[in-house]
Amino acid sequence: MNYLGDKVVAFPGRKPNQVGFAREELMRILDLYGRMVAAGQWRDYAMDFTKDTATFAAFRRTAERPQARIEKRPSLRGRQGMWTLFGEHGQVLKRGHELANVIAPVERRLLKAVED
């Protein structure tokens, strides 16, 4: 596969077999992760890539459910947006077309943690 901007382009004659994060998207997510680790909120993460979605999950402890899960689903780009933020119990916290807007609730929680 070849990456051009935020689009995955398959080699000629082949379909892409998984969705991934563009470098800028991953840098934004990992920057947030690093700040949450520094604030003592998160301690571990996992990423999963399938043919339909790319997922980043952040954990307080390794053995727990993820505290937050960021999912990129390009098939929803034209509808409610390809980005979704899920909470600890799987509830949808935010959907949108821009990653920055979708992760804003987590960044606000980070501001509260710093103030404490």
- What does the pLDDT read at residue 1? 45
Cα dist from 30 to 2, 45, 86, 95, 103, whole Å: 22, 10, 17, 19, 12
- Domain range enclosing 47: 18-115
| pLDDT tens digits for range 32-84 | 999 999 988 899 999 999 999 999 999 988 777 899 999 999 888 888 889 99
Count the neighbouring beta carbons within 10 Å of the beta carbon of residue 84: 20
Q: What are phi and psi of 13, to 5 degrees?
A: 85, 0
Task: Answer yes or no: is 60 within a domain.
Answer: yes
What total of structural domains would you count in the chain?
A: 1
Q: Is residue 7 part of a domain?
A: no
Residue 1 lies in a domain: no
Degrees to nearest 5, angle at CA 24 with 61 and 64: 10
What is the Cα 61 distance to its own chain's centre? 18
Identify the CATH number of the domain in which residue 33 sits.
3.30.2440
Q: Does residue 6 lie within any of the structural domains?
A: no
Calculate what percentage of the chain has a pLDDT beyond 70: 81
77 falls within a domain: yes
15 pLDDT more than 90: no
5 lies in some domain? no
Ranking 1-15, 48-62, 94-108 by mean pLDDT, the lowest is 1-15
**Would residue 2 count as lying in a domain?**
no
Choice between 13 and 39, residue whose per-residue pLDDT is larger: 39
Average pLDDT, the chain: 83
Q: Is the pLDDT of residue 12 over 90?
A: no
